[in-house]
Amino acid sequence: MSKKNKKERYQEELEERVVSLIASLLGGILRGSRRERVLSKFVESECEKIDRLMELYIRYSDRVKEETKRMDELELDDLEMDEDERYNRKLESGLYTLQSIAIILGHLWCSEHPRMRARIELLLRQQKLTKNDVKDILLEYHDNIGDLDGPEEKERVQARVLKFISAFELS
């Protein structure tokens, strides 16, 4: 692997870890001044963190769409894949990071902060996307949450994701 590829891969892994950490942070701080402080970071400097988040959303969304298209073409060539294998291939192409970004967007949306909501809607419109696109990512995540941490944790996470989905539907 060349130095350029190593550097790009390192940068990509770093982005994926940061996105995962922010999603976990928002999931772990459910209320109070600490949560407000974290959320306020997204409106600083004219919402530049939301802008960056949406850039990542678009990039990972495009990668997952590309992989889905590639798998659909493979299936036309008589190579049938079961749903688990399709899902795992999408995860490898960046679906987990895309889902984490959608979770962060869900947290931001549910904060009901008008500047955050307006910025998210503006950036979605600029990319010819809608809240339904984010909602679809959240729904796929909801449907594939495992119970590795126990059935109670699975139900808790699924309930939170359903809350995000409902919030995107109602507004």
Predicted confidence (pLDDT) per residue in 108-165, tens digit:
999 989 999 999 999 999 999 999 999 999 999 999 988 888 888 889 999 999 999 9
Q: Please report the pLDDT score of residue 73 as a whole number.
A: 80
Q: Are 3 and 11 in contact (CB under 8 A)?
A: no
With a threshold of 0.85, does the pTM exceed it? yes
Overall average pLDDT of the 72-81 stretch = 69
> Does the pLDDT at position 78 exceed 70?
no
Instruction: Identify which of 163, 154, 52 has the alpha carbon closest to the alpha carbon of residue 111.
Output: 163
pLDDT digits (tens, 9 = 90+) for 8-19: 889 999 999 999
Total domains present in the chain: 1
Q: How confident is the model at residue 7 (pLDDT cuts 50, 70, 90)?
A: confident
Give residue 33's domain range.
3-170
Report the candidate in 102, 105, 108 with the shortest Cα–Cα distance to residue 40: 108
Kindly tell me if the per-residue pLDDT of 77 is higher than 70: no
Q: Which tokens hold the place of 28?
A: 């772990």
| pLDDT for residue 76 | 62
Helix (H) or strand (E) holding 68: helix 44-76
Other C-beta atoms lying within 10 Å of the C-beta of residue 38: 16
Highest mean pLDDT among 63-77, 98-112, 157-171: 98-112
Share of the chain above pLDDT 90, in %: 70
What is the distance between the alpha carbons of residues 155 and 92, in angstroms, rounded to a whole number? 25
pLDDT band at 169 (very low <50, low <70, confident <90, very high): confident
Residue with tokens 């350029």: 4
Query: pLDDT at position 38, please?
Result: 94
Whether residue 90 has pLDDT greater than 90: yes
Check pLDDT > 70 for residue 75.
Answer: no
